[in-house]
Amino acid sequence: MHGPGLWKGTDLMAEFDFEKQLTVTETGIPGLKVVELSVHGDNRGWFKENWQREKMVAAGIPDLRFVQNNISFNDNRGVTRGIHAEPWDKFISVATGSVFGAWVDLRPGAGFGKVFTCTLDPSRAIFVPRGVGNSYQALEDGTAYTYLVDAHWSLELKKTYTFVNLADPELAIQWPIPLEECELSEADKAHPMLADALPMAPRRTLVTGCNGQLGHAVRALAEERGLAGSFDYCDIDTFDMSDPAAYSHYDWSLYGTVINCGAYTAVDRAETPEGRVTAWKANATGPALLARTCAEHGITLVHVSSDYVFDGTVEVHGEGEPFSPLSVYGQTKAAGDIAVAGCPRHYIMRSSWVIGEGHNFVKTMKALSDRAADPEDKLEKVTVVDDQLGRLTFTRDMAAAIFHVLDTQAPYGTYDCTGSGAVRSWADIARAVFEAANGNGDKVVPVSTADYYASAAGPIAPRPVHSALDLSKLESAGFHMPDWEEELGEYLKTLV
């Protein structure tokens, strides 16, 4: 041992401590974390666990899937590189020698331009989040600087780099070796000053099933919040999730989030031979392939589930209730949920009785109410099921809940997501629509599900009796779904 707990291999090599406890320290730049490593040594040299996933994650480093390991060898003391912000997270350490590092937050927001500096040696590493500019100065000859990254290098990603000048007086970095005495590349010398530097654009969001009711609501909310430029949209015509070959058409390293609004929702047609195949492809195979892709690329996946994964015997369903689907549609949705749950970064938003743009129950009831109010129309009554109980869910509220869990980085998992308020039957809702539209709620006649479908042609899927969902988990994450009856009143005002 070269001194008690201390290593000094050569005259050029900086001293560092042995046997430190693994610790992670915040730096003042969000996500940038200094890591003290435990190095073990004797007269032969030293050994360290440079990256140990279980220990590192427990200490506070994000659980990343690193896919590339790079080493930058620096022949001479004074070699200086940077400042580069790249579109990936990285874990930086030193194999031999030591560096003075400087990091600058180049992400958009109030922290833009904030600086942190420290020295790295074999016993100290740093985790650098995407968008934080990185630079270092070799303090010794023969310094080997190594870093793990969670995305493969590509020309497309290189186009998204952003830079700032090492010598910018606004940053006021106190380089141990004056830059005029250092070796710099011509490219690094030409980087812009902070005042002219471009913030690192966030990873993009891909919305699948964009032409459905929820897809429209997500797009509208993104545009309302000024996020349209960072969102991409696709539907079944441009991206068939159930086709493995379709995934090669996307550079997945550009995306940080996928919001899957695509689904097969024709509950009764799913009971037919043709519909059964389509439902399984859209609701199970597609989400399974999407989940695997998101897991491979460290992407957060948001997926929409349904109350049909349950048999409806429980009056209010919680997120932890075992699956018990009654229908083919419910079975495919349950299979999709199971597949998505295998993606490390996932949110499953479970809903029921969804109302959005396009054809829906409320619009149908409003049209029937108008007919019943027309003296020239012979419509005298409308039969509506009275033994299925739940709450309406408006897609604009679902979209807001999705944005909330993403924005607040709520714990991953499943969240029930329906309108709040009283539990009613479909007949109750129909009666409310008739009353609000034309004051003719007495035209709605409640019937049982069995009677309603008694004369139906073709297969009819069994429905859960109870579709109400427990909203306490979503509320504990800081989001409160609006009362569906109040939302219904506002929605009816938009229907002409």
Residues designated as active site? 84, 147
Query: Quick one: how far is CA 485 from the chain centroid?
Result: 30
Phi, psi of 448 (to 5 degrees): -75, 160
Distances (CA, A) of 141 to 177, 295, 393, 418: 13, 40, 64, 62
List of residues 6+ apart from 101 with CB closer than 8 A: 92, 117, 118, 119, 120, 126, 134, 135, 136, 137
Q: Is 413 left (phi over 0), alpha (psi -120 to 50) or beta?
A: left
Tell which residue, 71, 76, 83, 90, has the closest CA to residue 32. Answer: 90
Question: How many beta carbons lie within 10 A of that of residue 187, not counting itself?
Answer: 10
Place of tokens 């545009």: 223
Phi, psi of 307 (to 5 degrees): -65, -15
Q: What gap in Å lies between CA 115 and CA 132, rounded to an integer?
A: 10
Q: What gap in Å lies between CA 176 and CA 314, rounded to an integer?
A: 68
Strands 115-120, 99-105: pairing is antiparallel
Question: How many beta carbons lie within 10 A of that of residue 318, not counting itself?
Answer: 15
